[in-house]
Structure 1
Amino acid sequence: MGLVEIIGGSVTAPGSTETALTPFTGQTFQVRDFKGSEKAKLLATWNFVQGTGISKFRSARLHDNVQNFRIRTIANAVFPTFLGSDGQTLVTNDLLLPTLSGSATAGDIEQAYYLVYYSSLEGVNSRFTHYNSISRRIKNLLTVEVSLTAGTTGGFSGTKNIVADYDLLKSGTDYAVLGYRSSVLQGAISLYGIDTGNLKTGGPGSLASSFDTSNWFKQLSLSFDIDCVPILNSNNKTSIYVETSNNENAASPIVTLFLAELY
């Protein structure tokens, strides 16, 4: 059973200098240790910047350790760049070296995000599945709103359990998370808890008018043919959390989770 993890990093007022990112608290740019025939792939990357610049990641185990994957960023626009239809293969324990340039205004926090798929991780007990394995098990569709208060220092913040605002999930029931939406532009939205192996999963905090994420996990699963749709059990509802990633401007979002009740 696979899993998808979101990793983020930030730098403050880098200007035109391509500056090494500092990973968010509790995270690392080192690929997790995986064994034997298991695999890891970088599926997508995106940025949340206030000034245009360059976003780049490289490593000694990728194509080259000089430029490798280098793209121009767009200020105040959050949308993913997908790495082909199969993702970029990663090597166990390799250290990715991401850099970012952007705004030179004092205090401006510029951020980049990376979505990594693992086919399996030893010691991580998570519940991700392929959309095709649940498509005929869908009984009802529903949404759950969670109102978050964003922090001002970058990284992930606003942690709140998924039923803090509306506790309407049925007892002892499995729900698939098909996607989500944010009411205001964010760097990323993350979800974590018992059913994700306590690893953060998620995606870009785009506005639906520019990039709709209401079927984010469903589309990832179908596009890359992977197990990446989170399955949550309602008995764990107070131990499953939603977070946002914002910059110093702290625009607080209402996050809408798009769920499917399963038979």
Structure 2
Amino acid sequence: MSINCKGTLIELSTPRVMGILNLTPDSFYDGGNYKNEADVLTKTEQMLTEGATFIDVGAYSSRPDAQHISEEEELCRITPIIELLVKEFPNIILSIDTFRSKVAKETVNAGAAMINDISGGNLDEHMMKCVAELQVPYILMHMKGTPQSMKNENKYKNMLQEILFYFSEKIKTARNLGINDLILDPGFGFAKNIPQNFELMNQLELFKNLDHPFLVGISRKSFIYKSLQTTPQGALNGTTMLHTVSLMKGASILRVHDVKEAVECVKLYQQLKQ
């Protein structure tokens, strides 16, 4: 199983690590950390050196109750950084964390290689068609509502059944549009409370039945640190434990703040498989 990123085939039979680069001032863990080009370059170089295959760049905070910003502000934050990173690291594979088709198009034209959409096309009716035209890999996540409303959208009759049905419908749409490389993200923390997140983790292997690689994004999230009665800063050990569980249940990509620790999880998991 592989995906095509700007002409480079990335094999996903060995799980990959995606490092997070937040350009937002209000993200829950590292908001406002990268205020200038030097900080961005230092962090990116560190993640690449530690073994990240992808760098996921976001300029719109998707934490609960996040401030809404315009398309123009999102592009103003993100486009110069993409140009900087592509110039400094010519072989970098950049994923863009956005739900807006205009941002997707302009960032891919600036050098990005894939799109990571928290809304699965639900917040911009043009997004999936845009991705098909760009012919880049598409990470399609499950979420209900918006970042501003999602914490009140966690009512399900049968959560796993509803999420699997959501993905089966989205896969059909993507296939009809001509999206070739599709990666699924169950959306930990998005319209899901603490027990629901653990239910999702406990049944994560079900997503292998959809015959597409899936990504797990749980790094330092509240269902981990609240369960451990700590903070995002104190949640690395819990994150690492659940990354291991995710790999054993079939995850192809781990989206993380802490690349070194996640890469070590992958290495030890590969040793177990052998």
Shorter-chain TM-score tier: under 0.3
Structure showing the higher helix proportion among its residues: 2
TM-score (norm 1): 0.27
TM-score by length of 2: 0.26
Higher relative contact order (CA 8 A, sep 6+): 1
Q: More strand per residue: 1 or 2?
A: 1
